[in-house]
């Protein structure tokens, strides 16, 4: 079994040295870079199992690196590592698509546990994609048969509604902006009104987010939409 590859983007050399030592001892293959621009470039060049990303790094800050990682379509788990522990910072990071958030100083045991949890979830999502079946809360989407159920009820969707839903489900818990959605669901050559995304989001909500079910589709003001249980 091959080692899991972790990309560590951190500019504090003492922390980098400590984390590399501990993670390699745990059996991970670790590559480290010291600024956001190089980190993003390295990320896009290779396949990674997880990214440890400091927020306060030079060239590109961690939030911008995270935004560009998600804009690339990647669902690789990302854990933000930072000394900034205010609630707005945490919310911003999670809304941009971080899988987890840990604040300095932290115990290495806690970080290792969070890494294991993120990788387990990533493996579940990978298996779901291979099987063509995705589950979020009580929503089940069968990509191969194009069947959608919420609870015990089957939901009838138009082809475009289904394409939008499967794209969001495959990127669950990530905030997707209108441009991303248009490109992936309507295609690169679409030149119509971007409000079409809002229209189809409303269609999905009417069919999926009905009482007594808890809402799955959420608006992130100023950014876009996400689906999460």
**Do 18 and 53 lie in a common domain?**
yes
CATH of the domain at 220: 1.10.10.10
**Do 165 and 121 lie in a common domain?**
no
Distance CA 30, CA 51 (A): 10
CATH of the domain at 36: 3.40.50.2300
**Do 12 and 118 lie in a common domain?**
yes
**Do 51 and 103 lie in a common domain?**
yes
Domains contained in the chain, number: 2
Distance CA 195, CA 182 (A): 10
**Do 88 and 141 lie in a common domain?**
no
**Do 107 and 182 lie in a common domain?**
no
**Do 13 and 121 lie in a common domain?**
yes
Tell me how far CA of residue 169 lies from CA of 11, 70, 75, 201, 228, in angstroms.
34, 14, 11, 13, 8
Distance CA 79, CA 178 (A): 25
Residue 205: domain span: 132-227
Question: Does residue 1 register a pLDDT over 60?
Answer: no
Given 109, 125, 141, which residue is the final one in a domain? 125
**Do 60 and 110 lie in a common domain?**
yes
Q: Are the CB atoms for 171 and 118 separated by under 8 Å?
A: no
**Do 214 and 145 lie in a common domain?**
yes
Question: Which tens digit of pLDDT belongs to each residue from 170-224?
Answer: 888 888 888 888 888 998 677 777 789 999 999 999 999 887 778 999 998 888 8
**Do 147 and 220 lie in a common domain?**
yes
- 56-63 own/partner pairs: CB under 8 Å, 24+ apart: 56/11, 56/82, 56/83, 56/84, 57/9, 57/10, 57/11, 58/11, 58/34, 59/35, 60/35, 60/36, 61/36, 62/9, 62/36, 62/93, 63/92, 63/93, 63/96
pTM of the full predicted structure? 0.67
Cis upstream peptide for 105 (omega within 30°): yes
**Do 121 and 158 lie in a common domain?**
no
Question: Which tens digit of pLDDT belongs to each residue from 105-147?
Answer: 899 999 999 999 999 888 877 777 777 888 888 999 999 899 9
Beta strand 78-82 with 50-54 is: parallel
Given 106, 125, 144, which residue is the final one in a domain? 125
pLDDT at 86: 66
Compute the average pLDDT of residues 91-117.
Answer: 88
**Do 69 and 112 lie in a common domain?**
yes
Q: How confident is the model at residue 6 (pLDDT cuts 50, 70, 90)?
A: very high
Given 125, 147, 169, which residue is the final one in a domain? 125
pLDDT at 27: 95
């Amino acid at each position: 079994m091959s080692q899991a590859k972790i990309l560590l983007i951190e500019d504090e050399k003492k922390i980098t040295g400590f984390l590399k030592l501990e993670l390699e001892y745990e059996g991970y293959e670790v590559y480290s870079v010291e600024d956001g621009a190089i980190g993003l470039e390295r990320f896009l060049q290779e396949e990674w199992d997880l990214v440890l990303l400091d927020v306060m790094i030079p060239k590109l800050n961690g939030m911008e690196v995270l935004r560009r990682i998600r804009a690339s379509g990647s669902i690789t788990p990302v854990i933000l590592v930072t000394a900034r522990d205010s609630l707005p910072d945490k919310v911003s990071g999670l809304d941009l698509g971080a899988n987890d958030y840990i604040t300095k100083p932290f115990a290495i045991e806690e970080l290792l546990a969070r890494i294991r949890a993120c990788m387990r979830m990533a493996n579940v999502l990978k298996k779901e994609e291979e099987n063509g079946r995705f589950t979020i809360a009580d929503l089940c989407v069968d990509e191969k048969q194009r069947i959608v159920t919420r609870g015990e009820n089957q939901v009838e969707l138009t082809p475009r509604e289904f394409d939008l839903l499967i794209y969001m489900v495959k990127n669950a818990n990530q905030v997707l902006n209108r441009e991303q959605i248009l490109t992936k669901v309507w295609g690169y050559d679409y030149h119509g009104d971007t409000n079409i995304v809002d229209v189809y989001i409303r269609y999905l909500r009417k069919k999926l987010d009905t009482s007594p079910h808890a809402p799955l589709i959420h608006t992130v003001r100023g950014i876009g939409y996400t689906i999460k249980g």
